[in-house]
Homo-oligomer: A and B are copies of this chain.
Amino acid sequence: MSQARFDVLAVGNAIVDVLSPATDDFLSAEGIAKNAMTLIDEERARTLYERMQPGKEASGGSAANTVAGIASLGGKAAYIGKVANDQLGDIFTHDIRAIGVHFDTPALKEGPATARCLINVTPDAHRSMSTFLGAAALVTEDDVDAGAEALKASEIIYLEGYLFDREEAKRAYVAAAETAAAEGRRTALTLSDVFCVERHRASFRHLVANHIDILLANEAELLALYETGDFDTALAAVRQDVAIAAVTRSEKGAVITSGEDTVTVPAEPVKQLVDTTGAGDLFAAGFLLGLAQGRPLAEAGKMGAISAAEIISHYGARPECSLKVLAEKSGIAFD
């Protein structure tokens, strides 16, 4: 195993977010599941967008937000994901490279447009996402192969559960996990969304038990994975499946479990809760970088909590200041 060139390489849906304010009545009228991610087709994306308030566009995508967070923390990150050869694809590519993330998956030449996630943010700061996957879903084993050099040179490979919504993408995942394992790297997975878990529970259970070293999930996703309503039962189950699991619980912070150890990480204080988009993604950023840097679980968890607190204090899912500076102010030391 060679010296890692990257702390984390992530594979995920390359998406541009459209963030608009919305009321709860609007969500009801449109049949949008609150606080969840719903897949929509291009026609539905068009009609829903027509009815939404004016928006702000910004690069998103769960695992892409995570690597942006890692870069902001001073870590070295790489990304594999698929955009189309269009204006939104240019925006996604610019934003991820501008922050220093290695990204060279070739853009899709023909076919669907770059993925868009229509995010309706209600006054309670919760986000409800309607995603047209477009080109993002067309990430293939070839794209993983093209990124194999970076993949082999990454301390941790991080996979986004959302990609399970396409069979071809799932195969790309397993290929990435196997390449990582062959190099002695660790593979991490986020369960992404409770409905995503419901859609693909058997596949997730198989992947988690056989290929995953580090699992990230929120409480609802973990309960859905193990089909239980009891948190301790779910924790006991995940301990059998993975070396490390981090479960986020919103304002209750996070629980990290590894073998016999269980660590509780309190949520960091937030001055003003504006938009929860990206909270889980940024927890993953701090936590995974902490692990890649060989920090204790509690410290890695604290890096996650600090990163999540920054992202929910403003509109959008990418950091607006140096997370490294923030973390240093909270007593995290960097080399």
- A38 CB to closest chain B CB (Å) equals 20
The reply on A88 being an interface residue by CB < 8 A is yes
Residue in A68, A87, A88 with the greatest tally of chain B CB atoms within 10 Å: A87
Query: Which residues of B have CB within 8 Å of A88?
Result: 87
Binary interface profile of A, 84-116, with partner B (CB < 8 Å = 1, else 0)? 001110010011101100000000000001000
Contact check, B49 vs A94: say whether CB atoms are below 8 A apart. yes
Whether the pair A57, B56 counts as a contact (CB closer than 8 A) is yes
Whether B55 and A91, one on each chain, are in contact in the complex, defined by CB atoms closer than 8 angstroms, is yes
Within the complex, the shortest CB–CB distance from A104 to chain B, in Å, comes to 15
Q: Which of B56, B68, B86 contacts A87 (CB 8 A)?
A: B86
Determine if A302 is an interface residue (Cβ-Cβ < 8 Å). Answer: no
A55 near B87 with CB under 8 A, answer no
Give the most central of A57, A88, A316: most B CB within 10 Å.
A57
Q: Are B52 and A98 within 8 A (Cβ)?
A: yes
Distance to closest chain B CB from A91 (angstroms)? 6
Residues on B with beta carbons closer than 8 Å to the beta carbon of A99 = 53-54
Identify the closest chain B residue to A49 (Cβ): B94
Q: Which of B54, B58, B316 contacts A68, CB < 8 Å?
A: B54
| Cβ B54 vs Cβ A95 within 8 A | yes
Would you give 11 A-B contacts (Cβ < 8 Å), ordered by A? A49-B94, A52-B98, A54-B68, A54-B98, A54-B318, A55-B91, A55-B94, A55-B95, A55-B98, A86-B87, A87-B113
Contact for A94 among B50, B91, B94, CB less than 8 A: B50
A66 at the interface (CB under 8 A from B): no
